């Protein structure tokens, strides 16, 4: 199960900004920070409105999903971008890590999804909403695969549910059966620290919104932005490179 003690560090909104002009703000959302209200004033929407009163989130990321997020300044810019999302003209790329060696090559996962009463999302042919994800194996280790996911639709938990349907839930995603990753499972001569219990390397499930492509609401210029991996994802990849190279 994911580490329940993991909490976001205090951050300044200004430190999250990747790009800003008169119409938009691109930020790198940290782990464990909600996009919208979560009974806390530390959600990204609240911080954005303090920074700019007319800020509006154009989409959202789950609390434990990190990465790039687009914010519009003002109602007109928001409407222009929202229309692009509605027409599925915005390209999104996520990176994730799953257990096992997989050879996905732009595999199209086209499974309608239904939200259940226990907050899980499951494939459901009759009652589910259309959901499509393109899945590609970016790098294979001995026991894990780094996967690039391009969601065509934007359903709740879409990538998490689709990866589970493929038989490889995301590392650390306890809701969908994903297991945590421990250094002791990678390092042959691992020596435990007797003073405390070993903590998982992943600190939550590993799903990162890596890039976003859209048209600027004023100039109509196509723009692409990327965001770096958060620390926990970088740590996992570094340890896999040391102890799990294929």
Distance CA 235, CA 240 (A): 9
- Taking the alpha carbons of 115, 117, 122, 128 in that order, is the dihedral positive or negative? negative
Given this model, what pLDDT does residue 18 score?
A: 97
In a domain, 71, yes or no: yes
Q: Give 86-132 pLDDT, tens digit per residue.
A: 999 999 999 999 999 999 999 999 999 999 988 899 999 999 999 99
176: CATH: 3.30.2350.10
Domain housing 238 = 13-243
Cβ partners under 8 Å of residue 195, min gap 6: none
In a domain, 77, yes or no: yes
* Among 125, 63, 90, 82, CA closest to 215: 90
In a domain, 94, yes or no: yes
Confidence of residue 6 (pLDDT cuts 50, 70, 90): low
CB 71 within 8 A of CB 21: no
In a domain, 157, yes or no: yes
Q: Tally Cβ neighbours within 10 Å of residue 114.
A: 17
In a domain, 6, yes or no: no
In a domain, 3, yes or no: no
In a domain, 4, yes or no: no
Percent of the chain with pLDDT over 90: 85
In a domain, 2, yes or no: no
Clarify whether 21 is annotated catalytic: no
Domains in the chain: how many in total?
1
Q: Give 43-98 pLDDT, tens digit per residue.
A: 999 999 999 999 999 999 999 999 999 999 999 999 999 999 999 999 999 999 99
Q: Give 17-32 pLDDT, tens digit per residue.
A: 999 999 999 999 999 9
The one catalytic residue in 15, 62, 105, 244 is: 62
The stretch 148-168 carries a mean pLDDT of 96
């Amino acid at each position: 199960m994911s580490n329940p003690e993991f909490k976001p560090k205090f951050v300044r909104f200004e430190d999250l900004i990747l790009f800003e002009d008169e119409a938009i703000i691109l930020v790198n959302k940290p782990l464990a920070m909600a996009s919208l209200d979560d009974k806390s004033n530390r959600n990204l929407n609240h911080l954005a409105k303090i920074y700019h009163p007319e800020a509006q989130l154009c989409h959202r990321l789950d609390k434990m999903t990190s990465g790039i997020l687009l914010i519009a300044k003002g109602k007109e810019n928001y409407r222009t971008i929202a229309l692009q999302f509605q027409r599925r003209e915005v390209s999104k790329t996520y990176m994730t890590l799953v257990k096992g060696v997989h050879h996905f090559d732009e595999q199209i996962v086209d499974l309608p999804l239904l939200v259940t009463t226990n907050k899980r999302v499951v494939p459901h042919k009759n009652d589910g909403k259309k959901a499509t994800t393109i899945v590609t194996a970016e790098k294979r280790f001995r026991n894990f695969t780094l996967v690039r996911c391009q969601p065509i639709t934007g359903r709740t938990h879409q990538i998490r549910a689709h990866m589970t349907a493929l038989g490889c839930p995301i590392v650390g995603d306890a809701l969908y059966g994903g297991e945590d990753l421990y250094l002791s499972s990678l390092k042959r001569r691992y020596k435990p620290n007797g003073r405390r219990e070993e903590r998982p390397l992943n600190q939550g499930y590993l799903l990162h919104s890596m890039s976003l492509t859209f048209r600027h609401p004023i100039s109509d210029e196509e723009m692409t932005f990327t965001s770096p991996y958060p620390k926990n994802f970088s740590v996992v990849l570094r340890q896999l490179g040391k102890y799990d190279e294929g």
